[in-house]
Structure 1
Amino acid sequence: METLRLCVKLTRLDKFPLGSLVIFWPAAFGVTMASYAFNTSVQDFLTKIGIFAVGGTLLHSTFCVLNDICDKDLDGMVERTKSRPLVAGTASLTFAWVLFLGFLSATLFLLSFAQPLAVSFGMLSLPLHFTYPLSKRWTWWPQAWLGISNGWSYFVGWLSVAGERSSSTQVKATLAINTYSWTIYFDTIYATQDRKDDTRIGVKSTARLFGSRLREITALFAVATIVLMTSAGVLNHHGTPYFIISCAVAAAHFVWQVMSWDTENDRQSGELFKANGNLGYFIFLGMVADYARQRLEVM
């Protein structure tokens, strides 16, 4: 039981679905928008969503373990992370590496069920995931590095449906950049929790970089997210459900977040990060509603 408890703590499965959702959503958006673009069957859509739901959880857990391995010397100096298993000494480094390799193998196995082009593209993203835990040591923009990784997942989701079929590069690029912008937004909020400790130990982040303009600059990424999401919908010829539920509701949610955010309240920053995972449900719902409308018209 103790071994199982350590596995759950190291992989953050004790906090599920927090964290896993923000990995899952970009791929789910890619699957849904491609399913709409190519009018794929409901069975195919649901199968791929299920695979990416499991895969997103495995991917998040895999690189949470790697993050703890890379940060074991830093986590002990941060209030929020000082009780993690590797820091507290309740789990060994060898145990963590074995767990990491096990989850990585499971993630790659699941990816193998996707279209060959999606598999190849997904494999190309691995260097991004491997280097992300180290990025805060050499750049003020580790959130942008994570954004590229998440945006890549959108392409993998799209290609798992489209395969070799021709599709609009503009649609894919626009929503991938949308994901990039959204990730910088919510991960900056997340990083705000550790600003004081990060300043003391020299860890870089956009939460520190934006300084006294934290709220204003972070809000710009929320605005960019909505503009890009709306543009992607136009390019992909989406209908009313997408623009009302995915775009308008998301815009209102962002306004609530920015207006209510106390940038000095670490607890609230953590709650707003969680709220962004929940925001994905609304964005996804609008896409699914539009896809369902299309399927009903075909029948």
Structure 2
Amino acid sequence: MQGNAPTPDGQVADAPSGNWVDHYAPAGARPYLRLSRADRPIGTWLLLLPCWWGLALAVLADQSPRWEDAWIALGCAVGAFLMRGAGCTWNDITDRDFDGQVARTRSRPIPSGQVGVRSAFVWMCVQSLLAFAILLTFNRAAILLGILSLLFVAIYPFAKRFTWWPQVFLGLAFNWGAMLAWTAHAGALHWPAVVLYLAGISWTLFYDTIYAHQDTEDDALIGVKSTARLFGADTVRWLKYFLAGTVSLMAVAVILALMPKASFMALVLALAGPWAMGWHMAWQLRGFDHTNGAKMLQLFRANRDTGLIPLIFFSLAAFV
């Protein structure tokens, strides 16, 4: 395994070269911000977007937007940043021995020696407590859902040790916000949010299988499981299944949410969201090349735009 040694200033190997952490953050804070993946914001987007989907569909469902929804949207954004940071810190604590053996991850703060395990644990707790303070501003049902999500956050780093489908556990954790934000607006959890959650899980299986193809050789050597290793040369066929599942489930969620009250034009616009999202996923499939790690990372990062597409259509539907 030929790896990338840490750069002199501690930059992580797969961080974008112009990221704000490496160029503008105080030197003492950089290792902790890298531990939280603040230098790689795509994960925050992937955690946040299902929250905004859920909130947008909840507003469309009851046709009752409130000023409180602006706080829910903002609270989800800040909470996503904090909980993604806490989750990544927990992941790096549990995976520190594995990360040191993988070319792409050995420059991370713990295996490279920038941060000790005890300091990382304290940093994880600080981020979690700040996120919990935001959660406490939501209604009781949303608070309970938020607490329950910690189960999947805690399990995910260990999933690659016991199942070929760790991406399912990532999906369970990363898309929980679809149900939480719906509940924060509606006051209770309803079926459209559950189906939207399932659509998000299918989407996660799509993008994280692409992401995992960067590490298949190293993962095989150290015995780490993933859908990328499981599917191998048959990956594209499986990605097509996940594409179809994402689009179909999101369309069902839209219909369940909007049919009682929304206008025909609002329903058409909202349904255009998953349809357009599917086309963006199909574009990714056309560029898929599992032998090109840089291309896999590029496609993975493109999923910020993938997730924004249905949100744009849901927002437009609110005005008709």
Q: Which residue of 2 aligns with 1:106?
A: 130
2:47 to 14, 23, 38: 23
The answer for unaligned runs of 5 or more in structure 2 is 1-25, 259-265
For the pair 1:162 / 2:186, whether they are aligned, the reply is yes
Equivalent in the alignment of 2:238: 217
**In the alignment, which of 217, 236, 241 is matched to residue 269 of structure 2?**
241
Shift of 1:42: 4.7
Q: Which residue of 1 aligns with 2:283?
A: 256
Q: CA offsets, 1:254-280, max 9 Å, x none?
A: 111111211211111111111112211
CA shift in 2, pair 1:168/1:6, >3 Å: closer
> What RMSD over aligned residues (CA atoms) do the two structures have, in Å?
1.3
- Which residue in the other structure is 2:32 paired with? 7
Range 199-208 or range 259-268, more displaced: 259-268
How far apart are 1:168 and its partner, in Å? 4.4
The range that moved more, 229-238 or 115-124, is 229-238
| In structure 1, distance between residues paired with 2:193 and 2:117 | 39
Give the drift of 1:147.
Answer: 1.1
Contact 2:167 2:209 in 1 (8 A): yes
Gaps of 5+ in 1: 294-299
**Following TM superposition, by how much is the alpha carbon of 1:173 offset from its aligned partner in structure 2, in angstroms?**
2.4
Q: Deviation above 6 Å: which 4+ runs of structure 1?
A: none
Indicate conservation of the 8 Å contact 2:96/2:111, yes or no: yes
Given that 1:215 and 1:263 are in contact with CA atoms closer than 8 Å, whether structure 2 keeps it comes out as no
1:205: how far off? 0.4
Superposed CA deviations along residues 31-63 of structure 1, whole A, max 9, x for unmatched, are 111111122225222221111011111110111
Match of 1:208 in 2: 229
1:90-144 CA-to-partner distances (Å, cap 9, x unmatched) read 2111110110010011111111111110001110111110110111111111000
Distance (Å, rounded) in 2 between the aligned partners of 1:215 and 1:284: 26
Rounded to whole Å, the distance in 2 between the matches of 1:54 and 1:31 is 15
Which region of structure 1 is more displaced relative to structure 2, 233-242 or 82-91?
Answer: 233-242
Match of 1:296 in 2: none
- Aligned pairs, number: 288
**1:199 matched to 2:220:** yes
Aligned equivalents of 2:28, 2:64: Cα separation in 1: 43
Match of 2:295 among 261, 268, 282: 268
In the alignment, which residue of structure 2 is the partner of 1:297? none
2:262 maps to: none
Q: Percent identity?
A: 32
3-state SS, counterpart of residue 291 of structure 2: coil
Structure having the higher helix fraction is 1
Answer yes or no: is 1:40 the counterpart of 2:70: no
Q: 1:52 aligns with which of 41, 51, 76?
A: 76
Q: Take 2:101 and 2:160, find their aligned partners in 1: how far apart are those partners?
A: 15
The answer as to whether partners of 1:178 and 1:224 remain within 8 angstroms in 2 is: yes
**1:278 paired to 2:302:** no
